[in-house]
A and B are shown apart, each in its own frame.
Chain A
């Protein structure tokens, strides 16, 4: 299987924009998904199919894709957005691959 690489950490002030990247060779051919995991909780899906938002997820969460990199953008960051974020994709055999994870700190 392949790897998905994320920056270990991103720091952002409240109200600013956080951008989290995820790089992988197969991303041009496969959709990417994003999960938010707050401390002590199970992950929650925040973006599916590169740029779609599930119901109940705030509009400040958005996704985009360009070549081998996908990006999760959190606009107008709030204190409650402090969490670990993981990208995920699937390889050609149907196996899921998770990114290395990014810790978002709200200053």
Chain B
């Protein structure tokens, strides 16, 4: 059974750094792109970027380029999303999801990680 399990909720202050994780299991982790999606409170889904764990080829939405870093450790089947300096506007639910077929769509999703940034 394919599963993506994300790390738990985080409460941070503005300016702090953060790295959240997404562990894949039940499939060949290195054979599927893993993407990240933001959902701000009461809003829609926004594609942030995606990574191919086998070679760590990462691609970003222009809206998120330079704002976050996507990485992966294929030895432990885990993808990451990190911020070096959080802002209050980063408060959102973040989902990881597995690409179903060559950068087309997401077939499996993680449960989401809620990030709250508040002073």
- Give A residues with C-beta under 8 Å from B: 1, 31, 33, 35, 37, 42-45, 48, 54, 84, 86, 88, 90, 93-101
Residues from chain B with Cβ under 8 Å of A97 in the complex: 47
Please tell me if the beta carbons of A100 and B47 are within 8 angstroms of each other in the complex.
no
Residues from chain A with Cβ under 8 Å of B110 in the complex: 42
Please tell me if the beta carbons of B47 and A43 are within 8 angstroms of each other in the complex.
no
Give the dominant DSSP class at B's interface: strand
A44 to B35, CA, bound (A): 15
* Min C-beta distance of A68 to chain B, whole Å: 19
Residues from chain A with Cβ under 8 Å of B47 in the complex: 95-98
Residues from chain B with Cβ under 8 Å of A99 in the complex: 44
- Give B residues with C-beta under 8 Å from A: 35, 37, 44-47, 50, 59, 61-62, 95, 97, 100, 103-107, 109-112
Which of A33, A44, A93, A100 is in CB contact (< 8 Å) with B105?
A33
A-B contact pairs, 30 of them (CB 8 A): A1-B61, A1-B62, A31-B104, A31-B105, A35-B45, A35-B106, A37-B45, A42-B95, A42-B109, A42-B112, A43-B45, A43-B95, A43-B97, A43-B106, A45-B100, A48-B100, A48-B107, A86-B44, A88-B45, A88-B105, A95-B47, A95-B59, A95-B61, A96-B35, A96-B105, A96-B106, A97-B47, A98-B46, A98-B47, A100-B44
Residues from chain B with Cβ under 8 Å of A45 in the complex: 100, 105-107
Residues from chain B with Cβ under 8 Å of A44 in the complex: 109
- Known contacts A33-B105, A37-B45; 11 additional CB pairs below 8 A are A1-B61, A33-B106, A43-B95, A44-B109, A45-B100, A48-B100, A86-B44, A95-B47, A96-B35, A98-B44, A101-B45
